[in-house]
């Protein structure tokens, strides 16, 4: 079972996957066509009263790009996915001004002898114990960082929901 930081009552019930897919006539979610068309004889009525006329689907159905956008937007609207979870690099915020990038590097010496050797080259360093006692910062091996990156972008709320439903296009 996937772990979520919220209680079971706080996990939103998805509206997109509430009906199980089976062989009945019920459609799990609407099929998105490539285009919609307005017949020529209805153009004048549409101009007088926008969105009053029924549009006719044309082109390929399902249109995979449109269908995937529809499904993804429904998952976001259901609260199962956050925009940052599908865009961990933050590319959706490209037009917004960003603060200057500041890179900070900390050099930690394995022991006192390494610290003394670094001091010969004017590199100010601390040992692991000095850094953890002075600042309260926890220091972990690189394996921990690799585990964090491995799980980056995993959305357990979404996969927990999908485990209980079967659906197909």
Are 62 and 110 within one domain? no
Are 70 and 122 within one domain? no
Q: Tell me: pLDDT of 1 over 60.
A: no
Are 148 and 165 within one domain? no
Helix/strand/coil percent split, the chain, to 5: 40, 5, 55
Nearest Cα to 41, choosing from 59, 28, 53, 27? 53
Are 21 and 74 within one domain? yes
Residue 70, pLDDT score: 85
d(CA 11, CA 1): 14
Are 117 and 81 within one domain? no
Are 48 and 108 within one domain? no
Which pLDDT tens digit goes with each residue over 67-126?
A: 888 888 888 888 888 877 887 777 777 776 777 878 777 788 889 999 999 999 999 888
Structurally, how many domains does the chain consist of? 2
Structural domain boundaries enclosing 164: 11-88+160-169
Are 28 and 73 within one domain? yes
Are 48 and 115 within one domain? no
In this structure, the strands spanning 126-127 and 108-109 are parallel
């Amino acid at each position: 079972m996937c772990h979520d930081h919220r209680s079971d009552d706080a996990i939103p019930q998805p509206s997109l996957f509430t009906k199980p897919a089976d062989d009945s006539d019920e459609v799990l979610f609407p099929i998105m066509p490539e285009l919609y068309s307005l017949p020529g004889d209805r153009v004048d009525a549409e101009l007088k009263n926008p969105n009053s006329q029924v549009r006719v689907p044309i082109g390929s159905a399902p249109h995979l790009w449109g269908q995937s956008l529809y499904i993804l937007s429904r998952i976001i609207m259901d609260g199962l996915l956050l925009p940052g979870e599908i865009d961990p690099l933050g590319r959706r915020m490209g037009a917004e001004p960003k603060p200057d990038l500041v890179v900070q590097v900390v050099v930690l010496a394995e022991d006192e002898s390494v610290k003394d050797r670094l001091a010969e080259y004017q590199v100010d360093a601390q040992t692991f114990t000095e850094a953890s006692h002075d600042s309260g910062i926890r220091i972990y091996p690189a394996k921990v960082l690799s585990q964090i990156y491995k799980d980056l972008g995993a959305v357990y709320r979404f996969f927990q929901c999908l485990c209980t439903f079967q659906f197909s296009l």
